Amino acid sequence: MRLTRMMTYQDDDFDYTIRYPAFFEQTDDSLMDKGSCRFSFWMDSTEIVQTAFVEPNTDTLTVEQGMRKYAGELSADHQMKGDDYFILSGALHDDNGHLTGRRFYAKFVLHRKLWFVQTLAYPEDCETAVQRLLKEIYNWQVWEDPQHDLQSSARPSQPLFSSLSGTYLPYYQDLKGILVATGKFIILLNNTCRVYEYQLPLPSKSLFSSQILIHKQHSS
């Protein structure tokens, strides 16, 4: 998975794009709802499914409200919020509430009155193998062209962690990077590493504890 060629899919209805491994099989668009796509890999008892879809924000929820709603519906055990998006992950359950041995990872992006959603479902024992896909979803910008008209309001106007200075956040082991859109922040990982604004690579997860402390850098 780490070295495989990635393909780009562009939705005909909403123009969003996603990247998926070349060896994943696409479900025919004629079998999908408008604005939806599905790519999957199946071998023996291992199934990995990557999907994207668009659904209306019928209750006009804020990002915070949407995160609470979907985190409850999906029984998410991890959540993270940005200015116009949130990320949820957790164990998948069957209709009777029993654990299935599979996990999900989902990013919801709010634009106007729509939620743009990309998800990955995979076996728990494939966590390491799907790291590249999890990072793809984490960094998903919905539209490939940053100048796209639909994305004009998607750029955060405030620092991503502006309201979290001095607080602890869960360190998600399936994230290898954090993107801060504006402002200068220092992230201290067990006091061993300092990284600054924009692309913030996280070194090997084995070096760090389960928490990261957010500090805002003061201008000199």
pLDDT tens readout for residues 55-95: 999 999 999 999 999 999 999 999 999 999 999 999 998 88
- In angstroms, rounded to a whole number, what is the distance separating the alpha carbons of residues 36 and 55? 9
For residue 155, CA distances in Å to 97, 149, 159, 160 come to 38, 12, 11, 11
- In angstroms, rounded to a whole number, what is the distance separating the alpha carbons of residues 63 and 85? 6
Tokens encoding 117: 């959603």
Q: Report the half-sphere exposure of 15 (CA within 13 A, side-chain side).
A: 9
- In angstroms, rounded to a whole number, what is the distance separating the alpha carbons of residues 88 and 81? 9
Q: What is the pLDDT of residues 7-24, one digit of tens each?
A: 999 999 999 999 999 999
- pLDDT of residue 135 exceeding 70, the answer is yes
Task: Please tell me whether the overall predicted TM-score, pTM, comes out greater than 0.75 for this model.
Answer: no
| Domains, the chain | 6-147 (3.40.1000.10), 168-216 (no CATH)
Confidence (pLDDT) at 97: 81
User: Is the C-alpha dihedral spanning 99, 100, 103, 108 positive or negative?
Assistant: negative
